[in-house]
Amino acid sequence: MNYNLFMQEIVETARNEARQAGFEELKTPEEVDGALKKEGTTLVLVNSVCGCAGGIARPAAAYALNNSEKKPDFAVTVFAGQDKEATEQARSYFTGYAPSSPSFALLKDGEIKTMIERHDIEGFEPQEVFEKLQQALNEYC
């Protein structure tokens, strides 16, 4: 088994799940700045290949985008460990929060309003994370 091919498949699956849920993928620092400086609310998924990303965060994110009454104006994703510069640039907007993946950040007019960090995701059920996302969306969207 070729490790790099194996990882490529896992990464591509994770990317596809985020895109199919409705997240725009940002791969460069310039794309991040263009997206996060927009007026309105932006939900950022910091994606990763860990089990809690695939089993909890991405399913909760997909459900939130499709079933929440209030929705962000924009939904974007960066991929920790893959698109390192884009992820670093996105994290520069998350003032007061340590790097965390997977995680969700909710920004309004380019300013961080709240974050759902890995410790808010790992060990929880997707429905519980969806409820945390829904609460944030209800408060800021």
HEC profile of 24-43: EECCCHHHHHHHHCCCCEEE
Q: Is the pTM higher than 0.85?
A: yes
Exposure string for 31-56, b = 16+ CB within 10 A, e = fewer: bbbebbeeeebbbbbbbbbbebbbeb
- Whether 52 is a known active-site residue: answer yes
Catalytic residue among 32, 35, 45, 50: 50
- In the chain, the amino acid numbered 83 is D
Strands 103-108, 111-116: pairing kind: antiparallel
Express each pLDDT in 102-112 by its tens digit.
999 999 999 99
Express each pLDDT in 70-88 by its tens digit.
999 999 999 999 999 999 9
Tell which CATH architecture fits domain 23-140: 3-Layer(aba) Sandwich (3.40)
Catalytic residue among 36, 52, 53, 75: 52
What is the percent of the chain where pLDDT is above 70? 99
Distances (CA, A) of 11 to 4, 22, 43, 104: 10, 17, 21, 18
Number of C-beta neighbours around residue 4 at 10 A: 7
pLDDT of 1 reads 60
Domain residue ranges of the chain, discontinuous segments joined by +: 23-140
